Every structure is written in C-alpha cells, then in structure tokens.
Amino acid sequence: MGRMATAESYVLAIGTKKGLWLATSRDRRDWSLSGPHFLMSEVPSIGIDTRDGRTRILVGVRSEHWGPTVFHSDDLGETWNEPENGAITFPDGTDAALERIWQIHPDADSRPGVVWAGCEPISVWKSTDGGEHFELNRGLWDHPHRSEWGAGYGGAAAHSIVVDPTGEKVHVAMSTGGVYRSLDGGTSWEPRNKGISAYFMPDPNPEFGQCVHKIAADAAVDGRLYAQNHHGVYRSDDDAESWESIAEGLPADFGFVMLTHPRRAGTAWVIPLKADGERIPPDGKLAVHRTDNAGASWKRLDAGLPEAEYNAVLRDAASVDGAEPAGVYFGTRGGSVYASVDEGEHFTEVASHLPDVLCVRAAVVSAALLPAQL
Amino acid sequence: MNSAMISGESMPADSAISVVLPSVLQPLAGGQSILTAPAEAAVTVEWLLDAVTGDYPALSRRLRDETGAVRRYVNIYVNGNEIRRLQGLVTAVAPGQEVLIIQSVAGG
C-alpha cells in the first residue's frame, strides 16, 4: 500500500453496538470508511493516542458472549493487538470482574505513556505503558461510599476522567455517584457535587449520588469544568467545589454530551435531548449547541443536520479534534455520523445506517499513515 | 500448569479428555479446534478448563471472568448437558469424555 507524506490528515474512530469503523480524511469533508472491525462486539470506548511519535488507537471491546477486553493498533487498524494477560483485569481479592470499559483517556502530552480508563463496575485504572496494562486505582475502589453508588440505565460506571496539567488534580464522574475529585494524583477522593441536582432522590441535593452524564475541562481556564447532568447543565470555576447552572438558553437541560474546545477558553458543546422521559432531540430536530462564553449564552447549530431525527446521541458518541479550527464530530443511535470542520457551524455526513453509535473519537494524524490514494 | 496436549498427539482415548472449541475461539488456541488434557481419573470442569487454557490466557478470559465464573452466555456441555444443570464447575468429567463449549443464543 503506497504512502504519501504530505500535510495533516485526520482519523475518526466510530465505536458502535456491533463493531468499530475507522474513517480517514485529508480535509475532514471526504472520508474513507473501513470496517467493521470486531464485528458483533460493541465498542463503547476509544482512545486515540498521538503522543510518543506514533498513533495508537485503543479500543474497549465487549462481546456479549466472550466479555470485555482492550485492543490496540499502531497502524490505523490494519492489525490489532491484545495483551496476553489482558490490559484490564480485576486483581485477586477484589472479587470483581470487569464488565465494560467505558472510557479510555490518554493523559497529557507531558506524560507520554500514561493512559486512564474508566470502567464498570465503577472503577478507575491507570496505565503507564501506553495502555497495554492498567492498574486499579485503589483509592476509589476502596472508597467508603462505594456501597451507596448506584447504576444508571447503562450500568454503574466511571465514565469521565479529567486530569489537570500537573497530574495532581483528577476529576472523575460516575453514574450514579456524581463527581469525585482527587488532589493527590488519584490517591484519595472526595465527592464534589454542591449545586448539582439529584431530583430523583429524596434529598435532591445530596453530597453524592448525582447522575452526572459527562464532565469536561475548560481548555484554558484553570479550575473550570463543565457538566452535563441527568437534567441540568453546569459550570464550576473552582475545581468542582461548587457548580452553577448554565442551562438557560438551551432548549432542554437533558442530554449526555459535553465537549470542550482543545485550546480556547469558554467554548463548549452540548447536544440536548428533550427529557429523561423523552430521550429524543427536542421536537425531533437534532442540533448541537455551542457556548463561547462559558455558558452565558448558547448558539444553536444545525446546518447540515437532518430535518427530522429521533435518535439520541450518547455521552461518548461525540468528540473534538485538535485542529484549527477545531473539528466537531458526533454519531447517533441511528447510526449516522456527522463532522464539522468549523466548530459546529456546518456539518457533513460521514456515515449513515451504521449500528448504534456508542463512541466517537477524532484526531489529527500524520498524513504518512494514510493510504496514498486518499 | 498446563498439561493440555494438542489433539492427535499419541494418547490413549481413555486417558484423556477433549474440549471442543467453537470456531470463533479457535484463533485464540493457536488454531486448534480441540484441546486435550491427560486424565487418569475423573476431573472437574474447573480443573479441565485450567488445564487446557493454561497456555492460552486470552482464551481463558473468553470463557471465565476474573472471579473464575463462567461467562453468562458461554455454555459448557458434558454428556450433552449444560453444566449449569449439573454441578457447575465442579461437574465431574471422566477420561474419554468430550466437553463441548458453545456460545448461547444471545444478542440482537
């Protein structure tokens, strides 16, 4: 297969209920799709690690029959490797078994080799060898609140991991349990949910127990986080010590997605759904909403999206790339995948009629990795 | 510990137990469709699985989770009976018998 070394190219990994598809492009408009990889296994988590001079795609795969595991590919999916003894396995004494890998999160550029994972049952894991072997975070696993954490519809999992540039501040979100924060790199954890509603509990303002669907950090403001809750959209400016609503201006405060800009302060995206009891885009009209002022106002973005769409977008079925301007990507439970080269102003369809999209991740990669004919 | 032997190697039929794999799992066993463990007397299914998957940890994980439990949609048949209707992992298997591993009907 010929190679051509030119400018930047892009890879979009699409994890679905029945396998993984990979899309590559030189302009983020015309995409070449390959797949399915791992046919008949769901792929709920993907991490694209472009550090250390290579592009490694890590995927959390789960077969209904054969269970969960982690594969990685260093050649854009031409070959896949599974560590012989499994990348994520619960150690003896925990009496637990891995159910599903919900999150694979390559750490900062300054910490090459470090990859985090969030899993079901609720657990956080850390790898220092590029995702080939993960260690269970004991501080969270042994947390005294564990017995009181619950399961959302999709299962009880740690699904969001946000690590600050120093590596000392780590925020995790779980459904249900809410946001937990560590200030010592993950050794100890405390709940940080003040201001986030848990309307479905007898006390709607508990210390923990919230069903936070996704959190993301502001790219440029230290201590600022955004959260899409099970009803409620929030911002914190103090490392999750307190949260305030930024839902005003959105058509609904329910949803799963929360994305932040790779570099610019105050920019975030959500994809609202009507309500807990009506998990469809409001009025059946799919739209992304972006704020450029940390939630003070929102702009509806639907150019290029279908007139009618009744499928939801799940928490990890959306991503941004690192390009300028940033690309925005998402996929629906109806198997449609959309890409925007201009931060959501216009979308084009990358794929349609795939199985339910569970996870989408995009990255800028070396053009030398792509086939020359693209 | 792994006393599993490749099917077809010289071993009296009444001193070995065979485990038949579904085709989808055979790549995880070096392409073999049958794994065989020597056994002079009856063994448990648990012992047998340990024996035949000892060299194939990825195969082992497909059948049982970290706690040792057989995965929900993995069926293991001894004499035509699924072990959940027998004694589970402590079901006895005699030398000369064949154990079948078959994925259950699941998924949508």
- Report the predicted TM-score, pTM, of the whole model to 2 decimal places: 0.94
Strand-pairing partners, residue B34, are: B20
For residue range B54-88, list pLDDT tens digits in order: 999 999 999 999 999 999 999 999 999 999 999 99
* CB pairs A-B closer than 8 Å: 47
For residue range B13-62, list pLDDT tens digits in order: 578 999 999 999 999 999 999 999 999 999 999 999 999 999 999 999 99
Distance separating alpha carbons of residues A160 and A298, to the nearest angstrom: 23
Nearest C-alpha in B relative to A85: B57
* Contact at CB, A89 and B74, closer than 8 angstroms: no
Q: What's the complex ipTM? A: 0.90
Q: State how far Cα B82 lies from the chain centre.
A: 12
Q: Letter for the amino acid at A21?
A: W
Confidence at B12, pLDDT banded by 50, 70, 90: low
Nearest C-alpha in A relative to B56: A84
Give the per-residue pLDDT at A14: 98
* Contact at CB, B58 and A86, closer than 8 angstroms: yes
Q: State how far Cα A55 lies from the chain centre.
A: 18
Question: Which of B26, B63, B66 is the best substitution to test chain A (most A C-beta atoms within 10 A)?
Answer: B66
Nearest residue, CB atoms, A65 vs list B57, B61, B71: B71
* Contact at CB, B58 and A40, closer than 8 angstroms: no
Measure A233 CA to nearest chain B CA, in Å. Answer: 33
Question: Which of B21, B26, B28, B61 is the best substitution to test chain A (most A C-beta atoms within 10 A)?
Answer: B61
Confidence at B11, pLDDT banded by 50, 70, 90: low
Neighbours of A90 (CB within 10 A): 20
Residues of B in contact with A96 (CB under 8 A): 66-67
Distance separating alpha carbons of residues B49 and B58, to the nearest angstrom: 13
Give the per-residue pLDDT at A368: 76
* Contact at CB, B57 and A84, closer than 8 angstroms: yes
Measure A160 CA to nearest chain B CA, in Å. Answer: 24
Nearest C-alpha in A relative to B74: A65
Nearest C-alpha in B relative to A38: B24
Distance separating alpha carbons of residues A244 and A234, to the nearest angstrom: 5
* Contact at CB, B67 and A89, closer than 8 angstroms: no
* Contact at CB, B103 and A84, closer than 8 angstroms: no
Residues of A in contact with B71 (CB under 8 A): 65-67
Measure B12 CA to nearest chain A CA, in Å. Answer: 32
Give the per-residue pLDDT at A152: 75
Question: Which of A40, A63, A65 is the best substitution to test chain B (most B C-beta atoms within 10 A)?
Answer: A65
Q: Mark the ranges of chain A whose per-residue pLDDT is less than 50.
A: 1-6
Measure B4 CA to nearest chain A CA, in Å. Answer: 18
Residues of B with CB under 8 A from a CB of A: 25, 57-58, 61-63, 65-67, 69, 71, 73-74, 103-104, 106-107
Q: State how far Cα A370 lies from the chain centre.
A: 25
Give the per-residue pLDDT at A371: 66
Nearest C-alpha in B relative to A100: B65
Give the per-residue pLDDT at A199: 86
* Contact at CB, A96 and B73, closer than 8 angstroms: no
Residues of A with CB under 8 A from a CB of B: 40, 63-67, 69, 82, 84-86, 89-90, 94-98
Give the per-residue pLDDT at B72: 95
Nearest residue, CB atoms, B106 vs list A64, A85, A96: A64
* Contact at CB, A90 and B62, closer than 8 angstroms: no
For residue range A155-189, list pLDDT tens digits in order: 899 999 999 999 999 999 999 899 999 999 999 99
